[in-house]
Structure 1
Amino acid sequence: MDVMLLAGTRPEALKLAPLALALDAHPALRPILVHSGQHAGMVEQALAPFGLVADAWLDVPPRVTGGQAELVAGLLPALDDVLRRFSPAALVVQGDTTTTLAGALAAFWLGIPVVHLEAGLRTHDLTAPFPEEGARQMVSRLAALHLAPTLGAAAELRAEGVARQRIAVTGNTVVDAVLEIAARDLPARDTALALLEMEIAEAGERLVLVTSHRRESWGEPLERTLAAVQLIVAEHPDVQVLFPAHPNPQVRDQVEAALGGLPRVTVTDPLEYPDLVRALRLASLVLTDSGGIQEEAPTFGTPVLVLRDVTERVEVVEAGCAWLVGTDTERIADTAARLLSGSLQPAQVGNPYGEGNAAVLAVAAIEEMLGVGSPAHKHAAAS
């Protein structure tokens, strides 16, 4: 029985990879990985460390305007075609991207059950994150099975009227992914990261990892974040900053203008996933607006300053692993100073998003929805 997994961006691919591996080991279910083409090259890069490749690529016309309407208009006919061609028993979509929304809509129209991986995250503010919050809520209206990463996410779904039997709390598969990659302890492939790692070790310095890529962070908010980075470097002579910059020329130019040539600051291209995991392990502090990094960093006990005013990943803040600081320059710099001095300590409570068994729990929920099960699973249920 085929289960189609749809990815169009790197975060989707990373979080679907453990599920694809778990399905591939199942005697009755077979994963079909489909690349929507939303971010060409990035899905392939994310799947490669897991030994995975896409089984199919959508034939989507090249984008001219880059707008959401143009992307959806290209995705829907291609999704309809691939779903009709493979006739999967279910379609798994992840998170809150345009690929996720279009995939859920196309499958719903064909009567194919939609499985929403990482369901139930909410800010209840349709403008933040935009347009992701709206996409995530719309997919929840269409999904047949909601794989919620936490009890809090499940409670959000129940409050919206989703039946309890359609929700499974699994943890987040990104924890599965980060643990698998970290266990390999691969040396850095990025030359700048490798050199920086050597410098830090030799000088006894500390690493601060900074990422900012969300559309609502561009422009003035990013300017305030960059000013905070300048303050952190000036006030902490034992700190090295690593900033993998978004490939958008507008963002990259802004980062280079503010940080280029600044001592103890290294600006790189986006890191491949094993290198990003290595940087998270090395870092003493992370500044980010990334949802994925909020979920990954607690695995290594690395404190996170969330460069957003609201987060749908409230568990990491409530657990004491992260702090919401927005993009206020003084607030970022002051909170960073407290963490770097030790006057503010992250809670050592483990990762609130699971222990690395989310993919196994997700497969069990999909089995139940489809009415199938492995012999071992059936034996365990009978006993």
Structure 2
Amino acid sequence: MIKTLIVFGTRPEAIKMAPLIKELQSDSHFEVRICVTAQHRQMLDQVLDIFKINPDYDLNIMKQNQSLYSLTADVIIKFEEVLKKEKPDIVLVHGDTTTTFASALSSFYFKTKVGHVEAGLRTYNKFSPFPEEMNRKLTAVLCDIHFAPTRRAKLNLLNEGVEEKDIFVTGNTVIDTLKYTVKQNYKFREPILNEIDYTKRIITLTAHRRENFGKPLENIFEAVLCLADSFDDILFVYPVHLNPNVKDVAERVLKGHPRIILTGPIDVDDMHNLMARSYLVLTDSGGLQEEAPSLGKPVVVLRDTTERPEAVLANTVKVAGTDKERIIEIVEKLLTDKEEYSKMAHAVNPYGDGFASRRIKDALLYYFGYKKETPEEFKGSDMYVQKLYRRVLKAD
């Protein structure tokens, strides 16, 4: 059996690793162990409960007002004890969090193979997003096997010197998650979401990125306020992050408006079903840029850069940044121009087809010699791939 230790620490990581955990646990070739760092505590626990995931190890490292310094050190030191006890054949990490980088580094020190799920995403600006961009780049050089969600992500890794034999294009596991969560007759856990008039055009908003703290976040909220004042048939729903840098500003600027609903953080299945009932999505999150297009919802990205350029090329996403007037301009266009909205809503999602976890499992079986044939790559839509490579070749 392939002794596989899966480690993650945040809510988004848990959402994206859950279907992979289920896939590996269902295959007798794998002995699966799960370690959570609890870099986020409450929001992580929500996902574990929904997917009935019972960690074998809980490092419980979250502290109030934790710093990146203490967080990194705690993961490296505490994860060492897990490695000593389990002696895994491979450690699987996900994405771009501090847990990702620190556990990969700890595994490297232990001379254990590391597999990186959602590998190869890049903005090439080390401070945007911060610290995620450097977390994933540093993780890449520590890893032995890379599960790239798209061909563009694979190309990024090849350009950085990763050998092609160690890269597998799988699609993104978050698309797999939607199969578990979105239901037609869903009843929300958050009571206020059951009371919403869904005949209105719902706009789901998320904003919590560290690089947006301060003036950028204020700009976003002022744009939302202006849009809510301008259109009486829309309703913003904003699950507010618990970080005081977000919560305090949101309540000061947005609270009390009749067309803006503020809730606390919501469960993953609440979020997915809210998006499924929304008209469009405004976000500075990474995962929602991948999830919403699968539900036919245009996405406006509230960041100056995105490590997911495939969505921009496929026209499922528009990057607005944090400029108030630019956000208003893009959203107004989507609210008033039916043709423009339709183009985005019906574009093909380049991120996956719901079988990424199976492809990762097959790649691991191939890597460890249990399968002879090279796993088939996720290719996305042919039209999208051709468009992408024409753009890449022109840039080169």
- Give the TM-score band, short-chain normalised: over 0.9
Aligned equivalents of 1:77, 1:281: Cα separation in 2 = 41
C-alpha displacement of 1:245: 0.7
With 336-345 and 263-272 compared, the bigger mean Cα shift is at: 336-345
* Alignment pair present for 1:57 and 2:58: yes
* Alignment pair present for 1:330 and 2:325: yes
Q: Name the aligned partner's letter for residue 7 of structure 1.
A: F
With 364-373 and 75-84 compared, the bigger mean Cα shift is at: 364-373
- Look up the SS of the partner of 1:344 in the other structure: helix
With 25-34 and 175-184 compared, the bigger mean Cα shift is at: 175-184
Residue 387 of structure 2: aligned partner: none
Q: C-alpha offsets along residues 101-154 of structure 1, whole Å, 9 cap, x if unaligned?
A: 011001111111100000000000001011110110001101100000000000
Q: Name the aligned partner's letter for residue 229 of structure 1.
A: V
Within-5 A mapping of 1:70-109: 70-109=70-109
Aligned equivalents of 1:184, 1:80: Cα separation in 2 = 44
Within-5 A mapping of 1:119-138: 119-138=119-138
Residue 267 of structure 1: aligned partner: 262
- Look up the SS of the partner of 1:12 in the other structure: helix
* Alignment pair present for 1:209 and 2:210: no
Q: How high is the TM-score relative to the length of structure 1? A: 0.93
Q: Against the structure 1 CA distance between its residues 291 and 185, is the aligned structure 2 distance closer, same or farther, given a 3 Å change threshold?
A: farther
Residue 357 of structure 2: aligned partner: 359
Q: Against the structure 1 CA distance between its residues 110 and 213, is the aligned structure 2 distance closer, same or farther, given a 3 Å change threshold?
A: same
Residue 30 of structure 1: aligned partner: 31
- Identify unmatched segments of 5+ residues in structure 1: none
Q: How high is the TM-score relative to the length of structure 2? A: 0.90
Aligned equivalents of 1:240, 1:27: Cα separation in 2 = 48
C-alpha displacement of 1:185: 4.8
- In 1, are the aligned partners of 2:41 and 2:60 still within 8 Å (CA)? no
The one of 343, 347, 350 aligned to 1:349: 347
C-alpha displacement of 1:369: 1.7
* Alignment RMSD (CA, Å): 1.7
With 63-72 and 170-179 compared, the bigger mean Cα shift is at: 63-72
Aligned equivalents of 1:55, 1:185: Cα separation in 2 = 34
Residue 307 of structure 1: aligned partner: 302
Aligned equivalents of 1:136, 1:69: Cα separation in 2 = 17
* Alignment pair present for 1:283 and 2:278: yes
- In 2, are the aligned partners of 1:186 and 1:274 still within 8 Å (CA)? no
Q: Name the aligned partner's letter for residue 123 of structure 2.
A: T
Q: Name the aligned partner's letter for residue 369 of structure 2.
A: G
* Identical pairs, percent: 37
Q: Name the aligned partner's letter for residue 344 of structure 1.
A: E
- In 2, are the aligned partners of 1:185 and 1:278 still within 8 Å (CA)? no
- In 2, are the aligned partners of 1:17 and 1:50 still within 8 Å (CA)? yes
C-alpha displacement of 1:350: 2.9
- In 1, are the aligned partners of 2:236 and 2:261 still within 8 Å (CA)? yes
C-alpha displacement of 1:41: 2.8
- Identify unmatched segments of 5+ residues in structure 2: 377-396
Aligned equivalents of 1:35, 1:184: Cα separation in 2 = 32
C-alpha displacement of 1:65: 5.3
Residue 144 of structure 2: aligned partner: 144
* Alignment pair present for 1:250 and 2:248: no
- Look up the SS of the partner of 2:182 in the other structure: helix
C-alpha displacement of 1:178: 1.6
